[in-house]
Amino acid sequence: MNVIKMDSILLLENIIKMFVKDTKIKNFESKLLLNNSKMKNFKGFLKWGIIEGIFSMIITMILISQILQIQSKVELFFLISIIAFFTPLFLNYLFHDVLFEKRKREKEELLSDLLLEASIFCDESSATQTIKRLSEQDFPLLKEDFKRAYTEITNGASIEEALLHVKELNQSKTYSRVIDLLLQGYKSGAKISELLKETAEDLLEMKAIIKERQAVMLVTKYTLLIASGLIVPAILGLIIGLVSGLNFNSLGELSFGLSTEQRKALFETAISGTTIYVFEYASISSFFLALQEGNKKNFWIYALVLVPLAGITFFISKNLH
């Protein structure tokens, strides 16, 4: 059983590596590490994805065979089963990616305070002692990084290697700037307390500008959320429901000379087009909301909420007549 499991992991890993660069896989492993995931590496991630995918596929196959009864349509049955197998893998990836971005932003929020704290003692302490003291400060996420760096140093790594590892793991331009300052002070031996204070002030100004921008964009964000998830689908659904209640047979040969059958066919086409538009509008709104937040990967989070919500609102409104 273990041999089969390892073979399936290797097969899936090789397939993924055909389309994904090794650097991206390495970056994802860094995210797993910083998220304190039970899946410590990419193989572990695939292992749990396969296990959860098998359970998801079995449950889905039972449900569609009992409820939808489409097992006679082999191609559709197979397609849904494949989607069910890969869905946990995709959702796990999305969860860790979003969690990493959230933690990264939280760290960036704390960097200015960390620099001000470090400027107090950095000139009187060695680089190793500075890293140790930073690991003991009350900055929950940041102290974990410096604690890891200090552990690496005590295990034989150089200060530069440990700090570069912190920089590599976090994949943040703002965080990298702070690490570069610490490295600059270590390499030159110069006093950098004033430089740390100036950088902290710059980060505080940047933070204030970002918060002001977010406050301005908040109205747009919620307007788009409500419109794409509720208002637009509800209005279109009510209109479709109202029109569908009309008796086409009683209209004779009216309506631009179209016969009853032609009008029905035209109306069905209009319903299909409107349904597609509702889902398309929700998807496009999700994309713009993700762009507004500066993180395109948030598209999947918004889409997973807005698209089903828009669909449910549309179908409920359509059947209210």
137-155, pLDDT tens digit by residue?
Answer: 888 889 999 999 999 999 9
Tell the residue number behind the tokens 């998830």, with chain if given.
229
Instruction: State residue 18's pLDDT score.
Output: 85
Instruction: State residue 211's pLDDT score.
Output: 79
Q: Which of 223, 149, 225, 211 is nearest to 186 (CA)?
A: 149
Q: How far apart are the C-alpha atoms of 190 and 207, rounded to whole Å?
A: 28
- The mean pLDDT of 18-26, rounded to a whole number, is 86
Predicted TM-score (pTM) of this structure: 0.75
84-97, pLDDT tens digit by residue?
Answer: 888 899 889 989 98
DSSP string, 202-216: HHHHHHHHHHHHHHH
Instruction: State residue 75's pLDDT score.
Output: 72
pLDDT at 242 > cutoff 90: no
